[in-house]
Amino acid sequence: MTAGIALVFLAAGGIGWPVKFPATTQEAASADAPQAEAKHEAPGHIELSEDQVREAGITFAQAGGGMLKRHFLAPGSLIPDADHIGRVSVRVLATVTELRKRLGDVVEKGEIVAAIESREVADAKSEYLAARLTNDLQQTLYARQKTLVETRIVSENEFLRTRLSANDAQIKLDGARQKLFALGLSDGEIADLPNQPPESLRTQFLRAPISGRVSERRVDLGGLIGREGQESELYVIVNLDDIWVDLAVSPEDISAVREGVSVKIRAIGTEDEASAGVIFVSPLLDRETRNARVIATMPNKDHRWKPGTFVTAEVPLSGARSSVMVPKKAIQTIKGTPTVFVRDADGFEARSVRTGREDDDDIEIVAGLAAGETIAVQNTFTLKAEVEKDEAEHGHD
């Protein structure tokens, strides 16, 4: 043993001390590891040039505070505006002699749409014409007596009787004219009666009360109308330039609905969308459904919204203030964690955040992001793919 130790020291003296043994493979790998890690980007960082960002279609926005817009949904249907429905009707027993409009025809306010014949109309016109002649005669006599009484040719008592007769004739004429107004005749038609032939006295023309389209025709030519148990309406005219939205709102939500608020209307099964203004909130609940009725109105100049269409209304609630909020499309989920991509000098930092309340478009950031920081908004899925690719490569190494 002594001889062996001596041989070792003799060899060391020849090659130098201390003796350096070759490093093991594991030690070599450990020595090179720091140098290899320095060549990789920090985990969760994506380095992109300005040209790469532009080509990827990535856009930016600053995180900031704002109001989250909350809402609830209410079902409903479209109905004609009650202020834009007109009915062509009669007030006497009559026979339909002419129908000038068909279903779907466009009519203007005051346009003649039908004609009827009625004995009551003939009697009313005759009464007016007789009252008109009597009144003209009495007014002429009164004017003459007024001149004569001033010259004392007639007595004052005779003049007073003449004046009384003139006033009485005027009252009867006014009453006959009002009766014709009640039957639907216009000022022009009444004034033209003395020029009409006697056989036309039984005829009355019916006019459209509003402009619109004929939605219903309820009688046939030659039909008898105007008495109890018989139809009194000839046409229903609807103007769809404005339309109502009839909504059913639950008792839990009705307290949040106010007249004047704007609601978003979407047609069920289509892409149609429009805004409507609430004009009526019922103070009563329906006995059967226990819902409250809410009416909103919206313009419909192109008539693309049809009565009877089922719709859903998005009714806004009072907003909730948030210190930091971002668009929902700026959020990507990486390993089950909400993540935003914060812009820095070299590219983007994938930063985990904690979210809070949200609405249709935005979401509140409770932790992980400060107001004023710039984040990627559009096409963030591209950045998510880069992060996951980089993590996969690191995991493989």
Task: Return the CATH class of domain 45-68+320-396.
Answer: mainly beta
Sorted by sequence, the CB contacts under 8 Å of residue 190 that are 6+ apart come out as 128, 177, 180, 181
Secondary element (H or E) of residue 32: helix 25-37
The pLDDT value recorded for residue 40 is 36
What pLDDT is attached to residue 394? 61
> Per the omega criterion (within 30 degrees of 0), is the bond before 198 cis?
no
> Which residues are registered as beta bridge partners of 280?
295
Using DSSP's 3-state secondary structure scheme, residue 66 falls into strand
User: What is the domain class of 74-81+240-316 according to CATH?
Assistant: mainly beta
pLDDT of residue 149: 75
pTM of the model: 0.61
Task: Please count the other Cβ atoms lying within 10 Å of the Cβ belonging to residue 125.
Answer: 25
Q: Could you say which residues of the chain have pLDDT below 70?
A: 1-44, 229, 318-320, 391-397
pLDDT at site 383: 81
**Architecture (CATH level 2) of domain 120-201:** Orthogonal Bundle (1.10)
Residues carrying CATH 2.40.420.20, the chain? 45-68+320-396
Q: How far apart are CA 311 and CA 181, in angstroms?
A: 43
Question: Are the C-beta atoms of 183 and 126 separated by less than 8 Å?
Answer: no
Q: Which pLDDT does position 79 carry in this prediction?
A: 95
Burial of 15 (0-12, 13-18, 19+ CB in 10 A): exposed
Structure-derived torsion over alpha carbons of residues 63, 69, 72, 78, reported in degrees to the nearest 10: -120
* Numbered ranges of CATH 1.10.287 in the chain: 120-201
- pLDDT value of residue 392: 65
DSSP-derived letter for residue 209 is S
- Mapped onto helix, strand or coil, the DSSP state of residue 46 is strand
- H or E stretch covering 349: strand 347-352
Angstrom distance (rounded) from CA 156 to CA 150 = 9
The pLDDT > 70 percentage for the chain reads: 86
The reported pLDDT for the residue numbered 395 is 57
| pLDDT value of position 68 | 74
Span(s) in the chain for CATH 2.40.30.170 = 74-81+240-316
- Which residues are bridge partners to 94 per DSSP? 225
